[in-house]
Amino acid sequence: MRVVVSDSHEAMSERAAAEFAAAVAANPTATVMPATGNTPMEMYGNLSRLRREDGIDFSKLRIFQLDAYRGISPDDYRSLYRWMMTTLVTPLGIPQEQVVRLAGDAADPDRECAVFADLVRDAGGLDITILGLGPNGHLGFNEPPSPVDAPTRRVPLTPESMVSNAVYWGGEQNVPTEALTAGMDLLLAARAIYLVVSGERKREILARTIDGPVTPDNPASFLQQAANVTIFTDRAAWGDRPLP
């Protein structure tokens, strides 16, 4: 596990974007699974700036959606598909045909998950995942407890995730109770894993992710055993611990 601690959220976002852009320059047709959520938004903004100002070409990337609320259509302004499209895919000039959607509104969600996982495997697996860290250690919507080999599947959201997502839904009572998520098996097998973590609110779970017991009760702790993990974080999340 490589940990890069930056002074601020802004600096962290620039650093993560620069490393991602370098990885794309080396592998322009990479398969990428990007998180939504707040933490990577500034990183994504930096990527679009790198495209504009430095002419970096992201247009050949193949994108796989990380997670989706159950029963929400892709056009809904709260859908994670739409969030991913408007903040990353469209600004980077990636054609929609290169995006594999995880359809939260599929009539048969279990089948949708199986088909999606096969599409990832058929593409040769993931080159890069960009993940955020849930306050309860979730990756995507792999809520605790999630074993190391948890497959792509339908999951109930934990009360904790419903509380933390309430802001996007105008209250906890409106948050969907289920989601579909790419499995731990796919995420952990990615050839490069970026975890972006910022803010004091993530300090405790970040410490547990890096140094705590490896356990399904903190799915992110399995990153300790995965290959090629880089954690981009800021001082607020890192706290007073000695720098790595």
* Shortest spacing between CB 114 and ligand F6R, in angstroms: 20
* Residue in the structure block whose two tokens are 């080999």: 149
197: left (phi over 0), alpha (psi -120 to 50) or beta: beta
Residues 72-131 that bind ligand F6R (CB under 6 A): 80
Cα distances from 169 to residues 53, 74, 129, 138, 158, in angstroms, run 35, 16, 26, 19, 16
Which x/- pattern, by CB under 6 A, does the window 162-201 give for ligand F6R? Answer: ----------------------------------------
According to the binding rule CB under 6 A, does residue 138 interact with ligand F6R? yes
Q: Helix 41-54 to helix 9-26 angle, to the nearest 10 degrees? A: 50
Residue 25 DSSP code:
H
Tell me: does residue 37 bind ligand F6R (CB under 6 A).
Answer: yes
Nearer to ligand F6R, 62 or 138 (CB): 138
Find, among 66, 133, 77, 53, the residue nearest to 102 by Cα: 66
Active-site residue, from 14, 42, 46, 138: 138
User: CB of 7: closest distance to ligand F6R in angstroms?
Assistant: 19
Q: Is the Cβ of residue 56 or residue 87 nearer to ligand F6R in the bound state?
A: 87
Please state the closest distance from residue 70 (CB atom) to ligand F6R, in A: 14
Q: Does 39 bind ligand F6R (CB under 6 A)?
A: yes
Q: How far apart are CA 160 and CA 239, in angstroms?
A: 23
Q: Any catalytic annotation for residue 138? A: yes
Give CA separation, 22 vs 90, 166, 196, 211, 236, in Å: 20, 36, 17, 29, 26
Which of 106/157 has CB closer to ligand F6R? 157
Distances (CA, A) of 78 to 85, 114, 189: 12, 24, 29
Q: Which of 104, 134, 183, 219 binds ligand F6R (CB under 6 A)?
A: 134
Q: Does 35 bind ligand F6R (CB under 6 A)?
A: yes
Q: Which residues contact 117 (CB under 8 A, 6 or more apart)?
A: 151, 152, 182, 183, 186
CB of 96 to ligand F6R, least distance (A): 19
Instruction: Tell me the closest approach of the beta carbon of residue 10 to ligand F6R, in angstroms.
Output: 15
Q: Does 66 bind ligand F6R (CB under 6 A)?
A: yes
Which residues have a catalytic role annotated?
Answer: 67, 136, 138, 143
Residues making contact with ligand F6R (CB under 6 A): 35-39, 66-67, 80, 132-134, 138, 140
